[in-house]
């Protein structure tokens, strides 16, 4: 069998190797998850909640250990890695405390003696997850799915298998029965076989547009439900009444958080002409001052990209955009030395049809786009194959809300960066996928919405 290899992106050193399991072994694990489901679905919400609270407590107690693992495997700064683990605990507690009410039966008035809608678990859910939030992405799926009475099997990204095994171990340590949450350390070309297995009820994927299309095709051929959270090219409109210090602080954090590798990161800044020059001046200063370096250093603002091939890919997108007529005003040069580092980069004169406008830039590269007025800004923001997140920066909340309502995206935030929150649904439209995670909408994705009629 092949091995999954983890390479520290900060220095290029091999961290660990994990032996892949054969597809036959994976099927045994899926069958075990189905067997575990048969008893897990009968547990009360109180019983599941107790275990989910124990998992949250474990995240709190092991925060430093898990944060260091995430930083070592994919390069996010240690400060942001700690926040990721804290968010895992938050999501666990949210669903531990709210799942029973979110899935409570809904009485419906009909001619029947009694009629209502109930929400029952579906079975084993396969999660195909990415590397950029190696703990949180998994918990965002697992906490609601398990609290609903499902069981889960995980196919995690190859470069974060340490995190995958740590998660599996965390569920066991928290007291979850064996088989409720299982890591499948399989190769990507084995995912098709797992989806097609009779014991898999549904699939959720967070990843790229091509990966989503592939999984959706296989699942669709087998009449299995999918939830897809795919890429994004989030636009943030900076209106002419914006506080530019605040706007550029948000822009810098939005483009460099998680080393620029976030689906809902701010990527395209559409700035009204009246404030364009001043915004660009301040933004350039702040991006230039942001410290790139060792992600274990508490003072580092952003670290390396997760892999060398990803660093080379985004550099190719920068080069292509320049060749298409875009202009580089900061960064854009691969630094010497070890590690998958790429500097904070700003492209201007970016137009529809260019690489940096049309496609996702998954790294510390920002596109700044000039708009003559509010209507053109909205049109430019919506001129995208993606529709995950979006934002508006303005000193007038009512104006910002009005613009936000016109943006074609699953989320639109005014004067704040888009973030996933367990209290609100999260997901996209267009090529950013379909379905929702989090909130009551998310926990109801993987349940049987069942009508009961008693005459």
- The whole-angstrom separation of Cα 335 and Cα 327 is 20
Rounded to a whole number of angstroms, the CA Rg of the chain reads 22
Cβ proximity of 142 and 134 under 8 Å: no
- The whole-angstrom separation of Cα 33 and Cα 56 is 22
Catalytic one of 73, 84, 168, 229: 229
Catalytic one of 92, 168, 263, 408: 263
- The whole-angstrom separation of Cα 367 and Cα 225 is 36
SS in 3 state form for 124-190? Answer: EEEEECCCCCCCHHHHHHHHHHHHCCCEEEEECCHHHHHHHHHHHHHHHHCCCCCCCEEECCCCHHH
Closest of 293, 58, 83 to residue 168, by C-alpha: 58
- Phi–psi pair at 335, nearest 5 degrees: -75, 155
Cβ-count burial of 264 within 10 angstroms (0-12 exposed, 13-18 middle, 19+ buried)? buried
- The whole-angstrom separation of Cα 215 and Cα 140 is 19
Active site annotation includes 229: yes
Closest of 290, 246, 264 to residue 391, by C-alpha: 264
Q: How far is CA 186 from the centre of its chain?
A: 21
Cite the active site residues: 229, 263
């Amino acid at each position: 069998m092949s091995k999954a290899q983890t390479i520290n992106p900060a220095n290029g050193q091999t961290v660990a190797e994990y032996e892949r399991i054969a597809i036959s072994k994976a099927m045994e694990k899926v069958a075990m998850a189905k067997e575990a489901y048969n008893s897990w679905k009968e547990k009360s919400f109180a019983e599941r909640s107790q275990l989910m609270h124990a998992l949250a407590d474990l995240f709190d107690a092991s925060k430093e250990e898990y944060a260091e693992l995430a930083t070592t495997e994919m390069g996010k700064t240690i400060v942001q890695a700690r926040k990721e683990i804290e968010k895992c605990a938050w999501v666990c507690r949210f669903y531990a405390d709210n799942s029973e009410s979110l899935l409570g039966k809904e009485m419906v008035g009909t001619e029947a003696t009694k009629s209502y809608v109930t929400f029952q678990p579906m079975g084993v859910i396969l999660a195909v997850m990415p590397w950029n939030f190696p703990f949180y992405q998994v918990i965002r799926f697992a906490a609601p799915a398990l609290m609903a009475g499902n069981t889960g099997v995980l196919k995690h990204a190859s470069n974060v298998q340490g995190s995958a095994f740590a998660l599996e171990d965390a569920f066991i340590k928290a007291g979850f029965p064996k088989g409720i949450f299982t890591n499948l350390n399989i190769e990507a070309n084995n995912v098709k076989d797992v989806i097609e297995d009779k014991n898999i009820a549904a699939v959720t994927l967070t990843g790229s547009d091509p990966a989503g299309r592939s999984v959706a095709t296989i699942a669709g051929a087998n009449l299995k439900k999918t939830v897809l959270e795919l890429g994004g090219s989030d636009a943030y409109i900076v209106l002419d009444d914006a506080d530019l210090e605040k706007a550029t602080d948000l822009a810098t954090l939005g483009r460099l958080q998680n080393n620029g590798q976030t689906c809902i990161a701010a990527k395209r800044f559409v700035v009204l002409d009246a404030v364009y020059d001043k915004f660009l001046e301040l933004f350039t200063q702040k991006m230039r001052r942001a410290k790139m370096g060792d992600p274990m250093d508490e003072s580092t603002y952003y670290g390396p990209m997760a892999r060398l091939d990803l660093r080379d890919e985004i550099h190719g997108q920068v080069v292509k955009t320049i060749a298409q007529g875009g202009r580089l005003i900061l960064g854009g040069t691969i630094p010497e030395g070890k590690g998958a580092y790429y500097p904070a980069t700003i492209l201007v004169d970016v137009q529809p049809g260019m690489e940096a406008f049309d496609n996702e830039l998954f790294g510390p590269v920002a596109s700044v786009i000039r708009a003559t007025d509010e209507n053109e800004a909205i049109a430019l923001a919506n001129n995208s194959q993606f529709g995950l997140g979006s934002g508006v920066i303005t000193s007038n909340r009512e104006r910002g809300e009005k613009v936000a309502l016109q943006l074609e995206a699953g989320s639109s935030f005014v004067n704040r960066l888009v973030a996933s929150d367990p209290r609100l649904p999260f997901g996209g439209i267009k090529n950013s996928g379909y379905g929702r995670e989090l909130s009551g909408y998310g926990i109801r994705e993987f349940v049987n919405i069942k009508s009961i009629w008693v005459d």
